[in-house]
Amino acid sequence: MPELTVSELIPEVDSPEEKLLRRLCSIIEEYLDHKQVSDVVRAYHKGADAHSGQFRKSGEAYICHPLSVAITLADMRMDTRGIIAAILHDIIEDTPVSKEDLAKEFSPEIADLVDGVTKLSKLDHKSHAEAQAENVRKMLLAMANDLRVIIVKLADRLHNMQTLGAMPAKKKRRIAKETQEIYVPLANRLSMNSIRHQLEELCLEALHPLRYRIIDKAVKKSRGNRREIVSTIENAIQNRLNQAGLIFNVAGREKNIPSIYYKMKRQKISFSNVFDVYAFRIYCDHVDDCYRILGCIHNLFNPVPGKFKDYIALPKANGYQSLHTVLIGPFGVPIEVQIRTHEMHRLSESGIAAHWLYKSNDPSGECVQAKANEWLRDLLEIQKTAGDSLEFIDNLKVDLFPQEVFVFTPQGNIIKLPRGASIVDFAYAVHTDIGNACISARMDNKLIPLQTKLENGMTVEVITTDWARPNPLWLNFAITAKARSSIRNYLKNFKQKDAISLGQRLLEKELKIMNINLDDIKDDLIMELLQVIKLHSMDELLEEIGLGNRMPILIAKQLSQDDIHAAVKLEETDSTNSPLVIKGTEGMVITLAKCCRPIPGDHIVGFFNPGKGIVIHHHECRNSTETKKRESSRLDVEWSKEVSGEFSAELRMEVLNQLGTLATIASTISSLESNIENVSIIGQDDKVSTNIFTLTVKDRVHLAKIIRKLKRLFIILKITRIKA
Ligand code: MN
């Protein structure tokens, strides 16, 4: 007897939720195993139980909503945990079930996913200004430590948009606007085109119902007129490809309403100009066939010069692959044709969501799949080396913007980089070692400097030497995540130059107290000292001082041994001892402590930290009072009068837990020209939540201004700066 599938075991009851469950199971049975499907069903029962007695505005049982979300993800072949998280996504927020319960009953990973979605949901339905959208998207990404959280959230938003229904017009518009500004760009960035298109369509319908209806009507009306031409072209394609013995599917493709609307608006052209293009998509099984089909099609109709694009050989940054061409059809109508494999199509529809399944199944090295994996591996790699979520987000932003430039290596390999990338980016893209050793480049037999921006089609030969080292200035023009993290990583370990100059400043300062000029010290004396302490050069000694491995005062005393003046002066040291001046731009040997984040205007103290140089603390910082016991490593420092730049400060805020709170805080902060670098929620009950905001400020005065303005908001109960 054949084994029964789970969907067959579900009783045929007419409740909407059972129907949805059956539909979900029949989709996931195509790609998940028996055990995984029954885990999903178990999650359904948990969710249905917990939400029982709750209803959607439509009158349906609440569980229908999470089930619909799960179905969207199942269509994208999401993995089991993602599906389960989708089914349980509102359970922490809306029912007594806790994160710990989920960790116990399912797995800590699933509990984390659900918790992640819950946190994102708290940012929903706030009226934020358009200028804030980027900040909110950053926040969303920063709060989701697993990208599956964003994917579930996008599917959740899609279902909410689909069921806006009889909501008051004003509320509908607000939700649609938020979706348009926040979630459509996110879906695009993650190349989840299927969700993106649906969201765009729903947003347009909610925001411009009249325009939507007019275009919709026009589409339906012209569909009739077009039918004949569409089938003539389709038949011609079918016949030609059949003759060639190719296996394929061809489908007429109608532009969706948002793309018609935005094209009309952007190019100021009429509906018929946009719509009277006949678009077809041809799907096949193998990459080779794509090109064979292209050959047949170009033979059937005349291609329009300059319109052919090969995104198979040169995929877009988000992994999109397809052949695009435009032809002149019968009666002179323009025909757009896209040719791709089924696999490429699936990836372009599901984007990043397709990745998780690959991780567990099907090790065969299909090119598209490898591309998606590679893309994610790159992201994860960057996340690891960057080590800080904010930098990761910046990297993510750079890498996901769909503008790219293609250049050739001397061997003719194509390297793809984001637009605006420089020679340094190119060098690192070829190989980290080449990046680390590059000094300039050659293009068409001309030398070009490293900051030169790449242009499509350039052939670039990087020139390297053994002695070349990455330079901090490269960060001004290196834009790819790989180049930037490599340069930073290298520099972290390469502080020599900075250490030497700091060492010199520190030693000169000590000598000055003794009324000695470093230049006046005799070479013999220096050589003698170097021999005693077993170092080879003055630079090495200065580096040791700069890195905090040797105390400048001891070296100064040793260098002044035979100097009678010094011996006398030594007794009155303190009176002339002036603090080291900090400008905030000293490079890698002076760091501002992360525990107390001192800013200009704060009373500060410095400590030598062997191997690292000098660390600056706020004078009230607990870490600095503990280190104070080691009086010998302490250094008097003060801020320079010309200090400039952006500094981070942390604020702990207890805020009322209500709609719009975070958005109000964010807009207040940005109205005072400060950026939010990070937000973390550290505690929460149903009334009050405690958040830590990391902001950029110029100095104490600036920070005080921000705090004053925030204190005036009634939603903020308590606000303190974190100084330890
Ligand atoms: Mn939901």
CATH number assigned to the domain comprising residue 693: 3.30.70.260
Residues 599 and 697 in one domain: no
pTM: 0.50
> pLDDT category, 369, cuts 50, 70, 90?
very low
Using DSSP bridges, classify how beta strands 688-697 and 634-639 pair: parallel, antiparallel or unpaired: unpaired
Domain count, the chain: 4
Higher pLDDT: 98 or 318? It is: 98
Determine, yes or no, domain membership for 407: no
Residues 278 and 152 in one domain: no
Q: Is 557 helix (H, G, I), strand (E, B) or coil?
A: helix
Rg value, the chain, Cα: 32
The predicted pLDDT at position 220 comes to 84
Structure token pair of residue 506: 């520190």
**Alpha helices per DSSP H over 595-660:** 622-627
CA 146: distance to chain centroid? 12
Burial-class residue 631 by CB neighbours within 10 Å (0-12, 13-18, 19+): exposed
Query: CATH code at 261?
Result: 3.30.460.10
228 classed as catalytic: no
Domain boundary pick from 344, 360, 376? 360
Residue 340, φ and ψ in degrees, nearest 5: -155, 165
d(CA 80, CA 86): 10
Distance 228 CA to ligand 1 centre (A): 44
Q: What's the pLDDT tens digit per position in 544-573? A: 888 777 778 778 877 776 543 444 344 434
Q: What's the pLDDT tens digit per position in 621-668? A: 877 766 555 666 777 788 888 777 778 899 999 998 887 788 888 888
Residue 540 has pLDDT above 80, yes or no: yes
Residues 179 and 313 in one domain: no
Distance 545 CA to ligand 1 centre (A): 58
Determine, yes or no, domain membership for 518: no
Which residues does 516 contact at the CB level (< 8 Å), separation at least 6?
A: 556, 559, 560, 563, 565, 566
636 has which bridge partners?
605
Residues 179 and 311 in one domain: no
Which residues does 500 contact at the CB level (< 8 Å), separation at least 6?
A: 539, 542, 543, 546
The H or E element containing residue 652 is strand 647-656
d(CA 13, CA 486): 59
394 classed as catalytic: no
Reported for 323-328, long-range contacts at CB under 8 A and 24+ positions apart, including other chains, are 323/290, 323/291, 323/294, 325/294, 325/297, 325/298, 327/297, 327/298, 327/300, 327/301, 327/302, 327/303, 328/301, 328/302, 328/304
Closest by CA position to 669, among listed 701, 714, 699, 703: 703
Distance 65 CA to ligand 1 centre (A): 7
Residues 177 and 32 in one domain: yes
* Rounded mean pLDDT, 71-90: 90
Using DSSP bridges, classify how beta strands 414-418 and 404-408 pair: parallel, antiparallel or unpaired: antiparallel
Q: Kindly name the residue from 75, 93, 276, 310 that is annotated as catalytic.
A: 93
Residues 257 and 138 in one domain: no
The predicted pLDDT at position 385 comes to 47
Residues 121 and 228 in one domain: no
Protein residues within 5 Å, CB atom, of ion ligand 1? 90, 156
Q: What's the pLDDT tens digit per position in 409-425? A: 777 666 778 888 999 99
Closest by CA position to 611, among listed 507, 533, 496, 472: 496
718 has which bridge partners?
654
Burial-class residue 180 by CB neighbours within 10 Å (0-12, 13-18, 19+): buried
Distance 701 CA to ligand 1 centre (A): 43
Closest by CA position to 393, among listed 116, 134, 592: 134
Q: Is 339 helix (H, G, I), strand (E, B) or coil?
A: strand
d(CA 573, CA 512): 10
459 has which bridge partners?
408
Q: What's the pLDDT tens digit per position in 49-79? A: 999 899 888 788 999 999 999 999 998 888 8
Distance 162 CA to ligand 1 centre (A): 12
Domain boundary pick from 625, 641, 657? 641
CA 22: distance to chain centroid? 36
Residues 683 and 623 in one domain: no
Give percent helix, percent strand, percent coil of the chain, each to the nearest 5: 55, 15, 30
Q: Kindly name the residue from 94, 234, 404, 528 that is annotated as catalytic.
A: 94
Distance 62 CA to ligand 1 centre (A): 10
The predicted pLDDT at position 570 comes to 42
Structure token pair of residue 367: 């090119």
Domain boundary pick from 157, 174, 206? 206
Q: Is 590 helix (H, G, I), strand (E, B) or coil?
A: strand
Residues 216 and 202 in one domain: no
Determine, yes or no, domain membership for 544: no
Distance 90 CA to ligand 1 centre (A): 5
Distance 609 CA to ligand 1 centre (A): 50
The predicted pLDDT at position 134 comes to 54
Query: CATH code at 180?
Result: 1.10.3210.10
d(CA 668, CA 666): 6
Written as one letter, the residue type at 478 is A
The predicted pLDDT at position 268 comes to 82
Residue 60, φ and ψ in degrees, nearest 5: -70, 160
HEC string for 137-154 = HHHHHHHCCCHHHHHHHH
Residues 692 and 587 in one domain: no
Q: What's the pLDDT tens digit per position in 18-48? A: 899 999 999 999 888 899 999 999 999 999 9
Query: Are 341 and 290 spatial neighbours (Cβ–Cβ below 8 Å)?
Result: yes
Distance 681 CA to ligand 1 centre (A): 21
Query: Are 135 and 670 spatial neighbours (Cβ–Cβ below 8 Å)?
Result: yes
Burial-class residue 364 by CB neighbours within 10 Å (0-12, 13-18, 19+): exposed
* Rounded mean pLDDT, 684-696: 87
Q: Look up the domain containing 331 and give its range.
A: 210-360
Determine, yes or no, domain membership for 557: no
248 has which bridge partners?
284
Determine, yes or no, domain membership for 701: yes
Query: Are 545 and 503 spatial neighbours (Cβ–Cβ below 8 Å)?
Result: yes
Residues 88 and 187 in one domain: yes
d(CA 241, CA 243): 5
Residues 71 and 100 in one domain: yes
Query: Are 214 and 275 spatial neighbours (Cβ–Cβ below 8 Å)?
Result: no
DSSP 684: E
Structure token pair of residue 293: 């089909």
